Amino acid sequence: MSFSHLHIHNHIGSRLDAIASPEGYIKKAVELNHPYLAITDHGRLNGIYEHYMKCIEYGIKPIIGIEMYVYDDLIVEEKGKRKRTKTWHIILLVKNKEGYKNLLYLNYLSMKDSEHFYYVPRITTKELFEHSEGLIVGTACMANPFAYHLFQKQPDRGKELFEEYVNVFKEDFFVEIQLNEIPEQKLVNKYMMLLADKYSIPKVITGDVHYLEKGQNELQTLAIAIRDKATIDNITFELESKNLYYHDVDDYIEFNDAFQFNYKKSDILQWCDNTEYITNKIDFRFPKRRRMFIPKMSEDDDETLIKKAKEGLIERLNVKSYSEVPTEYKRRLKKELATIIRKGMSSYLLLIEDIVQFAIKNNIYGMVGRGCFTPETKVFTTNGYKNIENINVGDVILNENGEFDTVINKFSYNIEEKLIQIGNGHLTKYFNYYSTTDHKYLIKRQKDISFIEAKNIRIGDYLCLPKISYIEHNIDTIDLNDFNIFGFDYDDEYIYEKIPTNKSFKYSIRDISRKIGVARETVKRYINNGNTTEKSRNKIFQYCKMDENSLREHIEINKFIVKKVKRFLKVDKLFNIIVGLMAGDGYIKKDNYISLAINSETKVKNKEYFLKFAERILSNDFTYVNKSKTRKLEQIYIYSKVLVNFFLKEVIIYDKHNKKRINNKWLKQKKEYLHYIYLGLILSDGSRDKKNDRLSFDNNSKYLIQNMIEILLKIGKVFSLVKREKFFRDKYLCNPSYKLRIFNPDKEDNKYIYLRVSRIKKINKTKTKVYDLEIKNKSSFLINNFIVHNSVSGSLIAYALKIHNLDPLKYNLIFERFLAAERSPDIVVDYFGDEDDL
Ligand SMILES: [Zn+2]
Ligand SMILES: [Zn+2]
């Protein structure tokens, strides 16, 4: 006699429905001597892993399964609306590897799209049949498809469907007999037994278990109430059966009497015993975790690693033999080697050594170092510069791609050593950080580019800053008709914008009124709707020398004017200058015009560009220049609805505070075009400090500043950013604004910009902290020449193998950090921040 539960729900996969944990059930199975235990949650597999692992732990044989929702027509409509249908329940158990694959696939299907997932994840009977191999099917509860047809008074249809299941699943199909207090259960059991007998399908007792102990039904009802957002006093749904606890065979015998099923005791025992017939079929184990395959680097990589590490350490510590290596190093190496060898990672380290050595020999950028940013090192954030020590998790900073990225971790170490400052020309003022003397910089010395430790850098060397590379995405032409949501006529060349006009009449209303002695209002009314006295009308006809009909026709025709707007807009230098100008000094009125505000004395060029652009767009002249009477300001307008619509949708984005930014797609264009956007921005909001030969860009839109920074990083300019908080100028409150100072590099090529080292300042041994950050998206190096800390520096073996140059014992870097798989730090630091302004 052997019984195992084949239909059981736990609190992971049947959340807020079942309330017991896998472990709870498993302990019970051990206690009651049930050899197998299934998991069959409603429509979900998320509990299977824990169930499986716990079963293995307690020596119970796990069965992976699901109570799947099945229906024939996924979409049922009623009165044109999707209707929630009754979905049937079917138990699927994994028999073998093929079955596991099919279960995963069916589970995927059930959530694949809104057709399948409607309130619950569902599949069709057809899909189940198509992926039936390796699955054992049980007929589940009263919500099974066969009982459904019985209740629908279509027992024959139920029988047909049953026969289909028999044909598909053959001996891997069993009928579930459930014993509970629900009156209809007897009817269902009777029907299911009838079918089972007709097709010689085994009958198996299942518990549809939802909780561990008798009496926990109330707790379960509470869980359901939480799920349904109901209150205890106002329970909207509860299960009819109050006995869905973890049963043993005796419980079924008791239920048989208590609920008056009156089956023969021997039958009950037989049906319990039949669970063994099912479990005997099951032969499935999760595949063992696959080993990582790393090429072998030598005959015996463990031995090689030990040998190399010892030799490396002798060299690093400059001693004659291993016996001279200080004890603390020996101890650390022993510990690291033991771990690495035990984890089977010797080949990995040797492989990395090989790669790093190759990179060093070939001057390839890619060494690792230690976090060595002193506390005052400036990090560029979306809120201007911050000292690295003040950076918080959650701050948004720039990564190597010029994209904004979130800080997810911050580290610091105490050090006590000499520090050094590397300065550059006119930027020296902005240098305010020190690095450790062993910190390596990417340096161009004559023709060579290589990493040089700070203490060996000389005046006249060049610091290398990598230019941001990105994938170009160029756009050639814009079809403005894509933005013609107004229904204007168009052809291959033009869009014909129909615009209502005041010039509905060729004579001036004032003139008519004066000449014929009729009130202006009266004339206006006549023009608008023909409504006036006959006497006035006649006077108007006389004046215009037209009869009534021709006058009305004339007015109608002139109510609209048609503007010809060139349909195709070329994306070129001029266009990109306009993007920059509009982002700076432009204004777009949603349903009317695009305009540019300029100072007519100083911004002559802006006006030229803008009018040239207008000429390109509009075949007939519809620009309008509005000169301020008192100041030297002008506003130039381009009237075109499609153009406005295009600009608002695709070019300039306004946030809810009316702050502008440029649509990112234009910042992905080739560098040449970014230069023109840059030019447009500088022409609008830039200024030049002649004395220092320095450009500034001021704006109060954080987003536009971000746009500008992205452009600068891509076209290779050096910058500093200052944020000015709200301040009062006289009585006026000025909003926070930003000032970008922009510098040209001393030299540049395709890959780097170069800054000449003009000052080197050393300071004595200092006790300080060094910092390091980790950002969300991995990246490999910084915008300036800092080498980024990498966790590998926590390994003495890696130091011995010259994978990095930091003695972890000297800097107290722990091995455990090296082992942390998730570590992958990287940040972008720009150290040109202006301390005075912050
Ligand atoms: Zn069910
Ligand atoms: Zn169930």
Q: How far is the CA of 109 from the centre of ligand 2 (A)?
A: 20
The amino acid that residue 509 corresponds to is I
Q: Output 538 or 133, whichever has higher pLDDT.
A: 133
User: Which of the ligands is closest to the CA of residue 8?
Assistant: 2
* Rounded Cα distance, 100 and 64, in Å: 8
Q: What is the mean pLDDT of residues 710-732?
A: 75
pLDDT at 825 over 50: no
Sign of CA dihedral 391, 395, 397, 399: positive
For the segment 298-307, the average pLDDT, to the nearest whole number, is 94
User: Which ligand lies nearest the alpha carbon of 14?
Assistant: 2
Strand duo 752-775 + 404-424: pairing? antiparallel
Which tens digit of pLDDT belongs to each residue from 1-35? Answer: 789 999 999 999 888 889 999 999 999 999 999 99
Report yes or no: 640 and 618 within 8 Å, Cβ to Cβ. Answer: yes
Task: Output the six-digit token pair for 110.
Answer: 């059930």
Give residue 385's pLDDT.
62
Helix, strand, coil shares of the chain, percent, nearest 5, are 40, 25, 35
pLDDT digits over 258-279, tens only?
999 999 999 999 999 999 999 9
Going from the Cα of 731 to the center of ligand 1, the distance in angstroms, rounded, reads 73
For residues 474 and 479, give the distance between their C-alpha atoms in angstroms, rounded to a whole number.
15
| pLDDT beyond 60 at 777 | no
Q: What is the pLDDT of residue 337?
A: 94
* Axis crossing angle, helix 249-258 with helix 265-279, rounded to the nearest 10: 140
121 CA to centre of ligand 1 in angstroms: 14
8 Å CB contact between 808 and 405: no
Mean pLDDT of 478-491: 90
Residues found in the chain: 838
How high is the pLDDT of residue 439? 67
pLDDT at 838: 22
pLDDT the model gives residue 835: 26
Contact of 90 with 128, CB cutoff 8 Å:
yes
Token pair of 393 as six digits:
């998790």
Q: H or E stretch including 746?
A: none
Which residue, 770, 818, 792, 815, is CA-closest to 366? 792
Per-residue pLDDT of 591-604, as tens digits, reads: 778 888 888 778 88
Q: How far is the CA of 188 from the centre of ligand 2 (A)?
A: 15
pLDDT above 60: residue 138: yes
Cα(256)–Cα(269) distance, integer angstroms: 11
Other CB atoms within 10 Å distance of the CB of residue 816: 10
Q: Would the pLDDT of 836 be above 50?
A: no
Distance 91 CA to ligand 1 centre (A): 8
Q: From ligand 2's centre to the CA of 42, what distance in Å?
A: 7
Q: Is 767 helix (H, G, I), strand (E, B) or coil?
A: strand
**Nearest-ligand number for the alpha carbon of 13:** 2
Tokens 């949501």 found at: 485
422-426, 513-517, 564-568: which has the minimum mean pLDDT?
A: 422-426
What is the rounded CA–CA span in Å between residue 411 and residue 769? 10
- Cα-to-centroid distance, 56 and ligand 1 (Å): 26
C-alpha to C-alpha distance for 835 and 818, rounded to whole angstroms:
35
The encoded tokens of residue 37 equal 């235990």
- DSSP code string of 478-494: EEGGGG-TT--EE-SSE
Question: What proportion of the chain, given as a percentage, has pLDDT over 70?
Answer: 84
CA of 142 to the centre of ligand 2 (A): 9
pLDDT of residue 819: 61
Ligand nearest to the CA of 88: 1
Q: What's the gap in Å between 141 CA and the centre of ligand 1?
A: 4
Confidence of residue 438 (pLDDT cuts 50, 70, 90): low
Span of 25-34, 288-297, 360-369 with lowest mean pLDDT: 360-369
Q: Give the DSSP letter string of 514-544.
A: HHHT--HHHHHHHHHH--S-HHHHHHHHHHH
Burial of 707 (0-12, 13-18, 19+ CB in 10 A): buried
In whole angstroms, give the CA distance from residue 336 to residue 452.
Answer: 29
* Nearest ligand to the C-alpha atom of residue 90: 1
**What is the pLDDT confidence band of residue 365, given thresholds at 50, 70 and 90?**
very low
Ligand nearest to C-alpha 143: 1
Pick the closest to residue 209 from 473, 480, 18, 64 (CA basis): 18
pLDDT for 712: 85
Q: What is the C-alpha separation between 400 and 783, in angstroms, rounded? A: 6
Retrieve residue 706's tokens.
Answer: 């971000």
Q: Note whether 147 and 182 are within 8 A (CB).
A: no
Rounded to 5 degrees, φ, ψ at 623 are: -85, 160
As residues whose CB is below 5 A from the ion ligand 1, the structure lists 89, 140-141, 143
- C-alpha–C-alpha distance, residues 595 and 589, integer Å: 8
Residue 491 Cα, ligand 1 centroid: separation in angstroms?
63
Measured in Å, residue 41 CA sits from the centre of ligand 1 at 9
Do residues 608 and 579 make contact, with C-beta atoms less than 8 angstroms apart?
A: no
The pLDDT score that the predictor gives to residue 831 is 26
Q: What DSSP designation does 787 have? A: P
- Counting ligands in written order, the one closest to the CA of 17 is 2
CA dihedral sign, ordered 234, 240, 241, 244 = negative
**Ligand found nearest the CA of 65:** 2
Question: Would the pLDDT of 107 be above 80?
Answer: yes
DSSP string, 811-823: TT--HHHHH-TT-
Can you tell me the distance from the alpha carbon of 201 to that of 185, in angstroms, rounded to the nearest whole number? 19
d(CA 743, CA 759): 18
Pairing of strands 633-639, 593-599: antiparallel
Distance CA 161, CA 169 (A): 12
Q: Residue 167 Cα, ligand 1 centroid: separation in angstroms?
A: 23
- Band of pLDDT at residue 781, cut at 50, 70 and 90: very low
Gap from CA of 114 to ligand 2 centroid (Å)? 24
The amino acid that residue 836 corresponds to is D
* Mean pLDDT score across all residues of the chain: 82
Q: Which amino acid is at 693?
A: D
d(CA 680, CA 574): 9
How far apart (Å, rounded) are the C-alpha atoms in residues 49 and 654?
48
Question: How many C-alpha atoms does 806 have within 13 Å on its Cβ side?
Answer: 28
At residue 209, does pLDDT exceed 70?
yes
pTM over 0.85: no
Question: Quick one: average pLDDT of 429-439?
Answer: 62
pLDDT band at 657 (very low <50, low <70, confident <90, very high): confident
User: So what's the pLDDT on residue 363?
Assistant: 57
In 286-314, which positions are buried (b, 16+ CB within 10 angstroms) versus exposed (e)?
A: eeeeeeeebeebeeebbebbbebbbebbb
In the block, which residue shows the tokens 């009982």? 147
Neighbours of 736 (CB within 10 A): 13
In which band, very low, low, confident or very high, does the pLDDT at 821 lie, cut at 50, 70 and 90? very low
- Which of 123-127, 465-469, 605-609 holds the top average pLDDT? 123-127
Antiparallel, parallel or unpaired: β 135-138 and 173-177: parallel
**Which listed ligand is nearest to 209 at the C-alpha?**
2
- Nearest ligand (C-alpha, residue 145): 1
CA 156, CA 768: separation in Å to the nearest integer?
A: 85
Nearest ligand, CA of residue 139? 1
Between CA 314 and CA 815 the distance in angstroms is: 20
What is the spatial distance between Cα 111 and Cα 94, in angstroms, rounded to a whole number?
19
Strands (E), 241-347: none
pLDDT band at 573 (very low <50, low <70, confident <90, very high): very high
